[in-house]
Amino acid sequence: MSLSALPVPARDVLVVGGSAGGVDALKRFLAGLPDDLDAAVCVALHLGSTSPSLLPGILARVCGLQVVAAVDGAALERGVVHVARPDVHLVVAHGLVRLGPGPRENGHRPSLDVLLRSAALAYGPRAVGVVLTGMLDDGAAGLHRIAAYGGASLVQDPDDAEFPSMPRAALAAVPSARRAPLAALSQEAVSAVDADRYDRPEPTPRERRRDEAEVRSALGLDPALADGQSVGRPSPYSCPDCGGVLNGVEDAEGLLRFRCRVGHAYTAQTLVEAQGDTVEDALFTALRALEERGEVAERLARTSTERGREYSGSHFRRRAEQARNAAEVLRQVLAEHRSAAQAAADHTLGETGT
């Protein structure tokens, strides 16, 4: 029997997240939810990995629902907000909250893509996904999976977001998503939870196997498919995290992602950013080596001259001069690289209209 012919289930899992500007956006979004919301709520915000998160306490002060820090294996209860912890992925399983130490996705752990994808896989049309303000495009691929499984897709209106990059990317990935300003987004979520009629698309078995493998990866388990192959097809690019081959993973609507065999995952946009960081690190390493080489050569030149070895002294002085010249070229390249990166960041920030 087709899924579309079955009774329509209640939507009872609401997953939401953001990045830059996300704390204030989450406070306002959760404050707008009713105290008797008939759904469990899971929240993922990009968090630093080295310090305890104060987010559950911050959100509890403005939200009528119970707010807790996510605990691995806890029951996914209606009327409870489970908040992701730093440095672990928040995963929705069948009736449970899971915390995963798997590789970072889009440079983040927790990643919103992980949370949304797991909710889509576990709850299908019963899930509601929400993408709020933030930089780059984490959440876009995950919201695409929410829509693919028949869940409701909601996005903060980019014109209303402090940082519109994540909402814009989410809308590009899911053009059918409902967009609304933050003041109205909570009610849109409530309406999606209460909806009694909606489409129920059926993902292909291949899509489901791929989603299962990607969720296993977030949990720190073997990310290979049942046949032992990695998700996606090999690309010419290397993983910025581990140096392994990146496989291209293409969703519908041309949403291109990359994933290495151990599970590091990137959208095309975040891959470009990560490659820029890798280039800068390599340039600084080369600059340090050249400066040290010049200093050592200069010392050898002085020592040789003091001992009357003019030929050796002249040789080492040339080596020192070559190293200094090369170092100066690298400083110029670094300055141009950082200037270009700043211009790109200013362009993204300029999209806010501020």
Please state, in angstroms and rounded to a whole number, the distance separating the CA atoms of residues 8 and 195: 9
Write the DSSP assignment of 245-308 as a string of letters. EEEEEE-GGG-EEEEETT--EEEHHHHHHHHHHHHHHHHHHHHHHHHHHHHHHHHHHHHHHHTT
Cis peptide preceding 7, ω within 30 of 0: no
End-to-end Cα separation, the chain, in angstroms? 53
CB-based contact 46:138 (threshold 8 Å): yes
Dihedral (CA of 204, 207, 208, 209) sign = positive
Tell me which residue of 224, 335, 244, 263 sits closest to 104, measured CA to CA.
263
CB-based contact 239:259 (threshold 8 Å): no
The tokens of 31 are what?
Answer: 């404050």
Please state, in angstroms and rounded to a whole number, the distance separating the CA atoms of residues 84 and 247: 28
Angle in degrees, 0-180, between the axes of helices 140-148 and 112-123, rounded to the nearest 10: 10
Based on the residue annotation, tell me whether 347 is a catalytic residue of this protein.
no
Q: Which of 19, 118, 153, 165 is the catalytic position? A: 19
Q: Which residue has the tokens 């305890």?
A: 52
Please state, in angstroms and rounded to a whole number, the distance separating the CA atoms of residues 293 and 104: 36
Based on the residue annotation, tell me whether 138 is a catalytic residue of this protein.
yes
Q: Which of 118, 138, 186, 211 is the catalytic position? A: 138
Non-local CB neighbours of 149 within 8 Å, separated by 6+ positions: 120, 121, 123, 124, 125, 127, 201, 203
Helices (H) and strands (E) in the chain, counts: 9, 13
Based on the residue annotation, tell me whether 19 is a catalytic residue of this protein.
yes
Just list the catalytic residues: 19, 46, 138
